[in-house]
Amino acid sequence: MDRTENIIELKNITKIFDDDGFTAVDNFNLEVKRGEFVTFLGPSGCGKTTTLRMIAGFDVPTSGDILLNGKSIIGLPPYKRPINTVFQRYALFPHMNIYNNIAFGLRQKKTPEEEIRRRVRKVLDLVDLEGFEGRSVSTLSGGQQQRIAIARALINEPEILLLDEPLGALDLKMRKEMQLELKAMHDKLGITFIYVTHDQEEALTMSDKIVVMNEGKTQQIGTPEDIYNEPATAFVADFIGESNIFSGVMTGKLRARFCGGEFLCVDDFPEGTHITAVVRPEDVEIVPAGTGIISGVVDSVIFKGMHYEITVLSGRNEMVIQTVNSARPGDRVGLRVDPENIHIIQAEDHTNSFPVDINSAHRLEYNGHTLDTSLTRIIKGSKRLENGSILDANGEVIDPARIRIQASIQPEDIEMTDDQDAGLVQGTISNLIYLGDHYSYVIHTELEQDFVVYDEDLWNMDDRVSLLMPVEKMTFTLRKK
Amino acid sequence: MKRSLRGLFLVLVLLILYLPILILVVYSFTTSTQIGAIRGFSLHNYVTLFTTPELRDMITGTLALALGSAVIATVLGTMGAIGAFYSSRRTGAVISTVNQIPVVNADVVTGFSICILLVVVFHISKDSYIPLVAGHVTLCAPFVFLSVMPRIRQMDPSIYEAALDLGATPFDALMQIVIPQIVPGIISGFALAITLSLDDYFIATYTKPAMFDTISTYVVNATKGSQTTIKTALWALSTVIFVIVVLIVIGMNLRSIRQERAEKTGRRLHV
């Protein structure tokens, strides 16, 4: 491929902050073609803004290289890069009027005033704010300030325009309008846009290419369709759109077991592979009880305008379904999913994750056993009152019905035992693979979950075992319902 | 009943605050040579104040010292605050802490130690005014730092980056963008520096040239002396200073009220 076609290339970029040793960006690689609309998408703190700041020149990578048109710009200060930024909170200069704000960049280049006047008029026209030259910044609404910020960047005719969550401070309607306008502006000007957002819908609407990031690492790079239809990791599946995500295991050729049932699928992985299965809510069909692959009870039905959002509990698993047909809570139903609508991802690691309950005494419980840990340690800044209820960091009482706690434990931290009453949960060995120095077992529990356990000793298939899971080896994550 | 009690208390407090000054004001317009019986009305104290060369030189000298050291302190304090703000978190914290010490430290200690360092150790003559100016700058700069810092913190940090992004060098960005944003802090720091310098007694006594006096050192010496015409002229000086201060305070309050009003109407326009 012609190398010069890439306007900017990021090579093995890592950024570790000196202050606290925090790794914000970890070995990041990206190629952007001239004229592309690329979006960095991820939750806050995922390193997307830091990456953008390194492209702009505000932050210097700890290691790695940034090439602009094939030449390294690592040593170039921001004011020498042909790159302009639209900041999250606009960053207009409050002591200057609109004309002087927009003219700032050209003034630094000592452009003749005549030309400045002409070009200011042109960009104001582009952002639909003709005649705003004499206004002061404080008299403009948020949306107008945003347009001025865009105009101020575009007047310099940058090779790349960086946009750092530019629509985050606008209301929903305004945001939708600006999304379309920005996209139109991009198509008209042909400038490369690099856009940062945590809003997946915004990313899907506007981008040619999306870079999904989490914890400083690239999760997936692809077109919006790729990212939505073929998420590469469980994180991407969870972050983009709504998904039912289950951990499970391959039970045969194109057969996977998850959510308490055995499904046919189209992704080929060897038997015994630990997998993550992704099913989009709109791809689940509700069928009469007994005729589906799994069955369950309707837990809740919410009318969403275009469709109903129905939650079905199947054993301890929860499936969210979007359908145009309503159902009644309490109904017994069957569920089926077409093989091509099941997306199977090989699990990145074999961490076992399972939901735990909060009992009436506000203690954590799993399979009827109280876990010896404190909820206050899991919920940041929370306090336990004398009557047992928990206050969150804002001093409000936490409603156990509105939060969900997920426990995780590593396969090597679980021990199997024959003593059925000793462990937290019981199951049968449904799969075993020898991995050189230990066996990897899949235990199918009575709660319809599969646990992966590493053990040096050989157990037999279909052995009934109890799982010893030390609480101190578990990590807990909090999710709001 | 309660209301009138509250009013009485307020009057009492104001009286305690302002009575001493008012007494001086009244006596400065009389022929009296000491506080006691009031004889005739006279402006002779004011005539003495503005015609005696010794007094005039002392006042202009004090003002020149205050202005000069305030300018230097404002430049240094502002630079320090900007530097601390853009340093790493740890360096910034260290600079801020180091800046606090002279603020809390007793002026006697500051004056005495500057005298020891510059005059005794470095053999700089007090007549060069260097120890005096250095002393006053040391006194004022930390306060300028403290009044500029909150303005910088309030400033949107991304506007400096925005300026760099648009092609301004760090120096241009500082002069064109950051400084205009923190001007109110710089002005109040400057005003504070002037008052501090005018107020100072201890640092000046330790560092001033023998033949130079600031208002403070002069007043202390004069009240010890026996020249009654000079003593009563100082009542006039106190009155003049008091009136100027009152005018400045009223002016500043009026300005801030006007600004608030302008901001409110601005916000209304915004909506």
B88 CB contacts (<8 Å, ≥6 apart)? A18, A19
**Does pLDDT of B229 surpass 80?**
no
Tell whether B244 is covered by a domain. Answer: no
pLDDT at A51: 94
**Does pLDDT of A403 surpass 80?**
no
Interchain proximity A139–B159, CB inside 8 Å: no
Tell whether B14 is covered by a domain. Answer: no
- Please give the residue that has the higher pLDDT: either A40 or B123: A40
A104 touches chain B (CB under 8 A): yes
**Does pLDDT of A2 surpass 50?**
no
Between CA B260 and CA B253 the distance in angstroms is 11
- The pair phi, psi for residue B29, each rounded to 5°, is -95, 15
Between CA A146 and CA B75 the distance in angstroms is 35
Tell whether B212 is covered by a domain. Answer: yes
CB-defined contacts A:B, below 8 A: 74
Q: Considering only the beta carbons, identify the residue of B156, B165, B176 that sits closest to A78.
A: B165
- Global pTM reads 0.73
Interchain proximity B164–A58, CB inside 8 Å: yes
The residue behind tokens 């979006």 is A39
Interchain proximity A84–B166, CB inside 8 Å: yes
Between CA B114 and CA B235 the distance in angstroms is 32
**How is residue B46 written in tokens?**
């004011």
Tell whether B121 is covered by a domain. Answer: yes
Interchain proximity A84–B90, CB inside 8 Å: no
pLDDT at A407: 87
Closest approach of B165 to chain A, Cα-based (Å): 5
**How is residue A180 written in tokens?**
């379309």
A153 CB contacts (<8 Å, ≥6 apart)? A84, A85, A86, A105, A161, B165, B166
Which is nearest to A263 in space by CA: A293, A287, A291?
A: A293
Mean pLDDT for the stretch of residues B5-15: 91
Specify the pairing of strand A83-86 against strand A160-164: parallel
**Does pLDDT of B270 surpass 60?**
no
Interchain proximity A77–B164, CB inside 8 Å: yes
Which H/E stretch holds residue B21? helix B2-28
pLDDT at B263: 67
B186 touches chain A (CB under 8 A): no
pLDDT at B271: 38
Q: How many domains does chain B have?
A: 1
A41 touches chain B (CB under 8 A): no
Interchain proximity B270–A93, CB inside 8 Å: no
Interchain proximity B161–A89, CB inside 8 Å: no
Mean pLDDT for the stretch of residues A269-297: 89
**Does pLDDT of B265 surpass 70?**
no
A215 CB contacts (<8 Å, ≥6 apart)? A26, A45, A46, A47
Split at pLDDT 50, 70, 90, the class of B71 is: very high
A141 touches chain B (CB under 8 A): yes
Residue B143, classified by CB atoms within 10 Å of its CB into exposed (0-12), middle (13-18) or buried (19+), is buried
B24 CB contacts (<8 Å, ≥6 apart)? B235, B238, B239, B242
Residues 64-103 of B with CB under 8 A from A: 88-90
- The pair phi, psi for residue A294, each rounded to 5°, is -125, 165
Distances (CA, A) of A233 to A275, A280, A437: 10, 14, 28
**How is residue B70 written in tokens?**
């305030």
Tell whether B10 is covered by a domain. Answer: no
Distances (CA, A) of B47 to A235, A398, B42, B52: 86, 78, 10, 8
The full set of domains in chain A, from first to last, is: 3-229 (3.40.50.300), 242-346 (2.40.50.140), 352-480 (2.40.50.140)
- Stretch among A30-39, A403-412, B59-68 having the lowest mean pLDDT: A403-412
**Does pLDDT of A456 surpass 80?**
yes
Q: Considering only the beta carbons, identify the residue of B162, B164, B269 that sits closest to A139.
A: B269
Which residue of A lies nearest to B89 if distances are taken between CA atoms? A19
Between CA A402 and CA B233 the distance in angstroms is 79
Interchain proximity B177–A93, CB inside 8 Å: yes
Interchain proximity B158–A104, CB inside 8 Å: no
A420 within 8 A of A464, measured Cβ to Cβ: yes
Mean pLDDT for the stretch of residues A118-133: 91
Split at pLDDT 50, 70, 90, the class of A249 is: confident
pLDDT at A436: 65
Interchain proximity B163–A87, CB inside 8 Å: no
The number of beta carbons lying within 10 Å of the beta carbon of residue A8 is: 23
B268 touches chain A (CB under 8 A): no
**Does pLDDT of B212 surpass 90?**
no
How many residues in total does chain A contain?
A: 481
Tell whether B251 is covered by a domain. Answer: no
B244 CB contacts (<8 Å, ≥6 apart)? none
Tell whether B47 is covered by a domain. Answer: no
Q: Is A330 left (phi over 0), alpha (psi -120 to 50) or beta?
A: left
Tell whether B264 is covered by a domain. Answer: no
Residue B121, classified by CB atoms within 10 Å of its CB into exposed (0-12), middle (13-18) or buried (19+), is exposed
Specify the pairing of strand A352-358 against strand A403-409: antiparallel
Q: Considering only the beta carbons, identify the residue of A79, A93, A139 that sits closest to B164.
A: A79
Average pLDDT score, chain A = 88
Which is nearest to A231 in space by CA: A282, A194, A268, A280?
A: A280
Residues 216-255 of B with CB under 8 A from A: none
Long-range CB pairs of B215-221, under 8 A, 24+ apart, other chains included: B215/B58, B215/B59, B215/B62, B218/B58
Instruction: State the CATH number of the domain containing residue B127.
Output: 1.10.3720.10
B45 within 8 A of B28, measured Cβ to Cβ: yes
Q: Which residues are registered as beta bridge partners of A23?
A: A16
**What domain range is B138 assigned to?**
54-225
What would the DSSP string read from start to end of B153-173?
HHS-THHHHHHHHTT--HHHH
Q: What is the pLDDT of residues B39-63, one digit of tens each?
A: 778 888 888 888 888 888 888 999 9
What is the ipTM score, two decimals? 0.72
Interchain proximity B166–A105, CB inside 8 Å: yes
Between CA A147 and CA B246 the distance in angstroms is 47
The number of beta carbons lying within 10 Å of the beta carbon of residue B73 is: 28
In the sheet that A71-72 helps form, which strands lie side by side, from edge to edge? A23-33, A6-16, A63-68, A71-72
Which residue of A lies nearest to B172 if distances are taken between CA atoms? A108
B164 touches chain A (CB under 8 A): yes
A156 touches chain B (CB under 8 A): yes
Residue A392, classified by CB atoms within 10 Å of its CB into exposed (0-12), middle (13-18) or buried (19+), is middle
Q: Considering only the beta carbons, identify the residue of B88, B165, B169 that sits closest to A56.
A: B165
Q: Which residues are registered as beta bridge partners of A285?
A: A336
B172 touches chain A (CB under 8 A): yes
What would the DSSP string read from start to end of B163-201?
HHHTT--HHHHIIIIIHHHHHHHHHHHHHHHHHHHHH--
Between CA A463 and CA A455 the distance in angstroms is 14
A154 within 8 A of A126, measured Cβ to Cβ: yes
Interchain proximity B164–A105, CB inside 8 Å: no
**How is residue A398 written in tokens?**
């936490």
